[in-house]
Structures are given as C-alpha cells and as structure tokens.
Structure 1
Amino acid sequence: MSGTRAELPPARIGAGGSTGWWGRKRTRQAAMILCFLLPSLAIFLLYRVIPLGWNAVLSFQSWSPMRPPRWVGLEHYEEMLFYDDVFWTALWNTLIWIGAAPLAIVLALGIALLVNSDLKGASVYRTIVFLSYPLMTVAVGIIWRWMYDERGGFINWALRELGLIDKPLGFLQSFDLAMPSVILTDIWQVIGFYMIILLTGLQQIPQHLYEAARVDGVPRHAVFLHITLPMLRPSLFLCAVIGLLNSFTSFDLVYVMTNGGPGHATELLVTYIYKLGFGQTKFDYAAAVTVVQFLLLLVLTFLANRLAGGNAGAVEKD
C-alpha cells in the first residue's frame, strides 16, 4: 500500500505535466500561425470586407460628395430593374463575355494537346502562344485597336489582299462587330495562360493509362473522352473559374478599345459601374449595380462548384 501511494503521485504529476507541455506547445504554434496570418487578414479586411460592406450600405442611400447621405431603401434597385435599359444591356453583354470563356478554354485545350505531342518545335510554339499573356492589357488593347483600324489596320489590309472584302470594315465602330472583336482580343491574350494550365494537367496524367488503352486497341477519340478529359477535370475547372473571374474584371481592355461603345454595344457591368461613379458621380447608384454584380458572381461560382462536384461524382462512379 505504501508503495502504491508512493507511485501514484509521480504518475499523475507526469501526466499532468505532459498534457500541460503539449497544450502550451499547441498554443504557441497557434499564436505563431496567427501572427503570420494577421497582416494578410488585416489587408483583406481593410481593402475587401470593409469596402464591400460600406458599398452594400451605400446602395440603400442617396449620397454624393456634395450632400449628406439619405436613406432611400430599394429605390436604386427599382430604378435599375425597371427603368434602366443600359443596365440590362451591360448585364447581357457580361453574360455573353462569360459565355465566350469556354471557347478560349477549348482552343487552349487543342493547342495544349498539340504542343504536348511529338510535334517538332513544340517548345517554340508553346512559347509563342504564351507570350501574349504577360503583355499589359492596356498595351494589348492599343495594339489590337490599331489592327482593327478601318483606315490603316492590318486586319482590313489582309482581308483586302485576300479578296475577302471590297471596302474596309469598321470592326470597333460597328454595333454588330464590336463585341466579337473585343472578345477575340481577350481570347488571344488569355489563351496562352489556359494552355499552360492544361498542359501541366496533361503532363500529370499517368502514361500507363495510355499504354494500357493502346494495348487494348481503344480508339483515340475514346481515349480522349474516357481518360484525358476526366483526368483534366481539375485543370478545366480552374480555367473555368479564372475565366469567370476575368469576365467581371475586364475593364481595361474594353475601356481602351471601345469605352463600352458604340451605343453601349460593348458595355459591361464593370465599365457601366465606372461611368456611373466617376463619370456621372452617381456613387450610390453605382454601389447598387456593384451589389448586383457581386450577387451574380456568387451565383455563377456556386453553380460552377455544383457542376464540378457532379462531374467528380460521375467520374468516381465510372
């Protein structure tokens, strides 16, 4: 009994000491992680969360730099939804811009498959395609605006030399051609970035899957549909998310090339917000349009995530 009494206290003290030491270690680790995260969290709070919250409050007020704010409730949203035709045009153009992103991804996938093959000089072609992405968007807009020029642009000159047109086309001055022209420029710039993402995904696919399919005599189109595409799903989803985000931030390219014209033919929500706020000093109304744009982005991102989850489940079942 005396031996038992002598042995129990040290065991309890040791267990408590060990637990206390482990708890202190975890606390120090959590404090260190928090210290590393605090600068980023502070920046995110200062430049993202607070402006977004203030923007949401401003959308329910009547405010300008020259007068105090006045609460108006849903007045801006009623004007936007029922009386503002430019808003609906900008919304439709934004959806068209979003719909053009899959086209760029498909073209990038074709190029990635080409440069991933045994094509001679594939590395050179890969570099040439990617060179468009690091260029400044403003510079890209200026270059392509000159190429589309009706009087001395390269595209009109080439089309005339090929005998495809009799008179120059006003690509950026035409209500029907302006949007496709700007979208083509955007695709040209981002296709190299998508190609690199998809090429990385292609190179990570295990080669033994292709070798097994070759031994079994599986046709190429079946290999592409049942091996390449399922294995590329994460890369394709990443490209889709990037394309979605770029569709809501393509201000500089549109502003440099057309400024939303002609006649709001290329007006996007982001350019319309800029004009409302800094052109017409309607910061309150611009805040309401920004809220709608943000909600649209949330909805599309949610749908993209659900679609990716459904595809993942289908792939796993197969």
Structure 2
Amino acid sequence: MSGPGGPRSGKTTWFQRKRTRELALVVCFLLPSLAIFFLYRILPLGWNAWLSVHAWSPLKAAQFIGLEHYEEMLLDDDVFWQALANTLIFIACSPLAIAAALGIAVLVNSDLRGAAVYRTIVFLSYPLMTVAVGIIWRWLYDERGGFFNYVLRSTGVIDQPMKFLQSFDWALPCVILADFWQVLGFYMIILLTGLQSIPQHLYEAARVDGVPARARFFRITLPLLRPSIFLCIVVGILNSFTSFDLVYVMTNGGPGHATELLITYIYKAGFGQTRFDYAAALTVVQFLLLVVLTVIANKLSGGNAGSLER
C-alpha cells in the first residue's frame, strides 16, 4: 500500500519528464537557427567591437589603442560627418515615400476601376534586384540619352542637358527618388493590408453620424494604421542603412561624397583603404545609431498604441 503522497508524486514526476522532453525537443529545433544567428550576427558584432579599439591589419598583430579610432572619426574625419548626414537625410525622407504609398493604398483599396492592375504595377518595382534598379535609374538620369533629359529638352524646360548624378546638389535627391521607387510597392502592400483589416462598421457608423470623409481618414484610418506605419518606418530606417548596392551602382558615393552613406564609407574604408580596424569602428557607430533610432521609433509607436487603448 502506497503512502498518501505516493501517486501524486509519481504523477508529478511523469509531467516533469514530459516537460523536459518537450524542452529538449524545442532546443533541438532551435539550435541550428541559434547557431547560425550566433555565427553570422553575434560573433561578427563582437569581432567588430574588439577590432574597433585595436590597430590591426592582416600583416601585423593587433595593438590596443582604446578609443583613438572614434576620436579620429568625430574630430578629424569630414567624410564620416558627410556620410552620417546623408544617411540621416535618407531616413528623414522615408515619410515622404510612406505618405505616397498610403495615398496609393487608399486609391487601390477603393472602388477604383482596375485597382488590381494598378496595385500590381506599383508592386512590380519591389521584387527587382537593387542593382538592376540602379542601372535603370542611372540610364534615366543620363545626360546624353537619358529619358529625363530627353523629356525636359523636348518640352523646352531646359536648353542644355542636366548632369543629375554629376551634380553635388542633385545627386542625393536623385538616388533617394530611385530608392523610393523601389520600396514604394512594399510600403503600399503593408498599408493596404492594414486598411483592409480596419472594421468597416466604424466607417458606416461615422457616415451615419455625418462625419465627412476627411475627418474619417484622420480619426479612424490613420489611428488604426499606426502599427502598419510603424512597420514602414522601421523598414525605411533599415533600408537607409543598407542601400549600398543602389548607391554603388548609381554614383559610388560621388560626386565629392555627395551621396556617401555610412554603409558605402565602411566598404571604402575597409576594402578601398584596407583600414579594417577603422571600418570596424564605423560599423559599431552605425549599429548603435540603428539601435537608437529603432528604440525611438518603438517608443513612439508604444505611446500611440497606449493612447489608442485608453
């Protein structure tokens, strides 16, 4: 005859063994992904942080120098400040593309005839390879046979062809426009999904109450689209830090570093000047800036979500 606690303790032991087996199974499934994440994300990040405080090249041993690279970057490197400013301009212009995508999403979400065709046409730019996008837009901006110069000269707007990508003032806006064209379709799909998830009875109730269309947009559509808009903002931030191939194909950071981004400057410092230690410091700064901007965007989104819930 077993004691009073015998069966219960045996049952508890069986549940503990089952939970242990389930935990081991979960770990086995996650282990390959965690190993890849550690190998290609955590380890390179740690290596960059270590390398940024050392003087190192493939031909000599590493020597600890503390924060000398960061001091050089902040005090003596004008190209770094130019690249940082261009990257921030890229990010600051993202809301313009999001606003344009929102307008298109509202149109194709309506009863517009052929909305599905227009939606497909707008989205077609996103699956294209960025290198192909850069080549297409470089041809459009070409001063000799480019489409934009042809149209402007044919309509009498200009007499001489404009050197869009060779102009210090025009190069960065031209690259940003090409980037917007590529990501516009992606923004549109995200916002369109958010629009279609808004309950229609909210609009019907507002119409019954006599609320005009503009007020319905600002009081119903925009507040309920905040999660989708936040996702677009995060994508815009990430895209601004990873637009290497587009800039490299269209301008290579020129003219005179007018389109230099942090990502292109990191590449040039590492592989052009073989200053891998300095490039590592630039990478750390870019990573920290990305984290700060993402946290700020997340905080703003959290505040909006809280206000909606209240």
2:167 corresponding residue in structure 1:
174
1:152 corresponding residue in structure 2:
145
Q: One-letter code of the match for 1:305?
A: N
SS of the residue corresponding to residue 56 of structure 2 reads strand
Distance, in Å, in 2 between the alignment partners of 1:146 and 1:140 is 10
Distance, in Å, in 2 between the alignment partners of 1:199 and 1:39 is 35
- Normalised by the length of structure 2, the TM-score is 0.98
Pairwise mapping of residues 260-299 of structure 1 onto structure 2 (< 5 A)?
A: 260-299=253-292
1:145-183: CA deviation from partner (whole Å, max 9, x where unpaired): 011000000111011122221211111000000000000
Q: One-letter code of the match for 2:192?
A: L
1:52-84: CA deviation from partner (whole Å, max 9, x where unpaired): 001101000111111111111111111100000
Give the deviation of 1:291 after TM superposition.
0.7
1:120 corresponding residue in structure 2:
113
Distance, in Å, in 1 between the alignment partners of 2:300 and 2:68 is 35
Residue 60 (structure 2) pairs with residue 86 (structure 1): no
Distance, in Å, in 1 between the alignment partners of 2:234 and 2:69 is 30
Distance, in Å, in 2 between the alignment partners of 1:242 and 1:235 is 11
Q: One-letter code of the match for 2:286?
A: Q
Distance, in Å, in 2 between the alignment partners of 1:279 and 1:254 is 16
Considering only aligned residues, what root-mean-square deviation do their CA atoms show, in Å? 0.9
2:134 corresponding residue in structure 1:
141
Pairwise mapping of residues 1-318 of structure 1 onto structure 2 (< 5 A)?
A: 9=2, 11-317=4-310
- Normalised by the length of structure 1, the TM-score is 0.96
Distance, in Å, in 1 between the alignment partners of 2:85 and 2:31 is 40
Give the deviation of 1:10 after TM superposition.
5.7
Distance, in Å, in 1 between the alignment partners of 2:222 and 2:89 is 25
Distance, in Å, in 1 between the alignment partners of 2:21 and 2:200 is 45
SS of the residue corresponding to residue 9 of structure 2 reads helix
Identical amino acids, percent of aligned pairs: 73
1:3 corresponding residue in structure 2:
none
SS of the residue corresponding to residue 260 of structure 1 reads coil
Q: One-letter code of the match for 1:91?
A: L
1:5-35: CA deviation from partner (whole Å, max 9, x where unpaired): x6xx365222112111111111111111111
Moved more, 96-105 or 125-134: 96-105
Q: One-letter code of the match for 1:188?
A: W
Q: One-letter code of the match for 1:315?
A: L
How many residues are aligned here? Answer: 310
1:73-114: CA deviation from partner (whole Å, max 9, x where unpaired): 111111100000000000000000111111111000000000
Distance, in Å, in 1 between the alignment partners of 2:51 and 2:121 is 46
Structure 2: any 5+ residue segments left out of the alignment?
none
